[in-house]
Amino acid sequence: ISEKSCRKDSPFPKHPGIDQCCTLQGHERKLCLASLRYSADELPSLLEPTNEEICTEYTKNEKDYAV
């Protein structure tokens, strides 16, 4: 997850401090990212997706769906 968080095409919200965390490696990077805090406005909705939405997302990219 830490590698995915630091990619340019990361699906996660950009947060102040994330660029600094991404300069670190291994365990230090993970701890740095874990220490970042997000406001409720920065996070996507936590509503449960419908069965149709789940199937659509799964068929788009089966390999990385669980990630």
pLDDT of residue 26: 93
pTM of the prediction?
Answer: 0.52
Q: How far is CA 28 from CA 20, 25, 44, 67, in A?
A: 11, 6, 26, 21
Cα(58)–Cα(48) distance, integer angstroms:
15
Residue ranges of alpha helices (H) inside the chain are 2-6, 18-22, 26-35, 51-60
Non-local (6+) Cβ contacts of 61 within 8 A are none
Distance CA(8)–CA(64), nearest Å, equals: 17
pLDDT digits (tens, 9 = 90+) for 13-66: 778 889 999 999 999 999 998 888 766 666 666 667 889 988 998 898 888 877
